[in-house]
Structure 1
Amino acid sequence: MHILITSGGTTEPIDDVRGITNFATGKLGKILAEQFLATNHQVVLLAGLTALVPDNHPNLQIIRISNVDSLAIAMNQWLPKINVCVHTMAVSDYTPVYMTDLETVEKTQDIQSLLTRQNTEHKISSQETYQVLFLKKTPKIIASIKNLNPDIILIGFKLMVDVSDAQLIETARASLYKNNADYILANDLTTISETQHKGLLISQHHIQSADTKQQIAQLIVSKSEEAYDKRNHRGNR
């Protein structure tokens, strides 16, 4: 199979030296890529700039991703050639529009007009005590995946914080149907540590659990192979 994995996080630039990012390490994406490679699959890994990645491998291609726009470009290029997409990346929900000092904002009668401005400095001055940063929502990449390749096996991820299993499952199922995914791996930040990573792999009719990143990777690889074989009506990969 040809596998595409997104991993790590994106960084949305404020200026040439600053950006908004997240704490995603890409560790699970690295383990997933290694597990797919160990079972003789071809892997394309779209990895954030600081994401952990596997060692070089003849069946592995690593492409570094900076922001949401670069992720969308890479997805458009690769998805039509892919059998399975595992979308683990923590994609930025917002991207900067314009940053200015608080006094300018307070004096502006039409706040909406600030949304059409752009910073032209390579490095925005840090002399002001307070700055106001305007953000706009980024497009949901997962929502476009099945549009680009309706036959792809799509595994998405849903991360929540300190919720019940029932709420986690309900939210993951909503994402499953909304994005036409085959599986959603639901996890809660409070159950993730160096030695533990609890996850629920949710499909339309089944839920399977795992307790570590390695178990999650093995489960995803197994279910991807099963879904691919079933979809193609053959037992070989």
Structure 2
Amino acid sequence: MKILITSGGTTEPIDAVRGITNHATGRLGQLLAQLFLDKGHQVTLVTSPGSYRPEKHKRLKLIEVSTVNSLQNVLEHLVKDHQVFIHSMAVSDYSPVYMTDLEDVMASKDLSQLLKRHNHQGKISSSSDYQVLFLKKTPKLISLVKKWNPDIRLIGFKLLVNVPKEQLLQVARTSLHKNQADLIVANDLYQIKQDQHQAYLVSAEGYQTLTSKPAIAQAIYERVISNDKNHPPRCQR
């Protein structure tokens, strides 16, 4: 099979030296890519600079992206040419529009006009005590996947922070339905540590509880290679 995997995290530039990013390492994406390669599949890994990635392999195609826009441009073409898409990359929810002094914002009579401005300097001055950064929402790329390829098998990820288990599962079920996904891997940041990663694999049949990155990768692999949807791995409800 041809497997498409995203990993790591995007960075949205504020200026030439600053950006908004996240703490995603790409470790789980690395494990997934290596597992599918070891089992004889072709893997395209779309990842960010500095993220974990497998060793070079004849069946591995590696593509680096940095921003949401560059990721979207790459995925729109790749999704059409793969059978399975595992979207584990942490994608920025917002992108910078304009950064300016607080005094400029307070003096403005129409804040909407500031949204039409852009920073052209290579490095925004740090002389002011306070700066205001305007952000705009980025596209939810997972919502576009089935439009690009209705037949692709889609595994998405959902990360929340310190929420009740049932809330995490409900958000994952909503994403599963909304994005027409086969699986959603639901995580809580408070349950992710260096040697432990509790997650729930949520499908239409129920969910599986897993407690480490290798276990998550193995469970996703088993779901992907299973052609018999009437006999999925045992799930809780």
Matched with 2:108 is 108
Amino acid at match of 2:114: L
Matched with 2:179 is 179
Distance 1:133 1:23 in 2: 20
Alignment pair present for 1:192 and 2:192:
yes
Distance 2:148 2:75 in 1: 9
Distance 2:187 2:91 in 1: 16
Deviates more, 1:147-156 or 1:49-58: 49-58
Give 1:206 deviation, angstroms: 2.3
Matched with 1:47 is 47
CA contact (8 A) 1:10 1:49 kept: no
Amino acid at match of 1:181: A
Amino acid at match of 2:125: S
- 1:127-138 correspondence runs (5 A): 127-138=127-138
Distance 1:163 1:129 in 2: 35
SS in 1 for 2:195: coil
CA contact (8 A) 1:49 1:64 kept: yes
| Structure 2: gaps of 5 or more residues | 230-237
Amino acid at match of 2:85: C
- 1:5-154 correspondence runs (5 A): 5-154=5-154
Deviations 1:48-87 (A, max 9, x none): 1221111101111111111000000010121111000000
For these two proteins, the number of residue pairs brought into alignment is 229
Name whichever structure is richer in helix by fraction.
1
Matched with 2:234 is none
Distance 1:162 1:104 in 2: 37
Matched with 1:219 is 219
CA contact (8 A) 1:200 1:209 kept: yes
Distance 2:206 2:59 in 1: 31
Distance 1:75 1:82 in 2: 10
Distance 2:161 2:104 in 1: 36
Matched with 2:233 is none
TM-score normalised according to structure 2 size: 0.95
Give 1:230 deviation, angstroms: 4.3
Distance 2:49 2:114 in 1: 30
Q: CA RMSD in A?
A: 1.0
Amino acid at match of 1:25: T
Amino acid at match of 1:28: L
Deviations 1:170-203 (A, max 9, x none): 1100000011101001111111111111111111
Distance 2:102 2:206 in 1: 51
Deviations 1:66-111 (A, max 9, x none): 1000000010121111000000111000000000111111111001
| Structure 1: gaps of 5 or more residues | 232-237
Distance 1:43 1:207 in 2: 26
SS in 1 for 2:132: strand
Deviations 1:140-171 (A, max 9, x none): 01000011010000000011111222111111
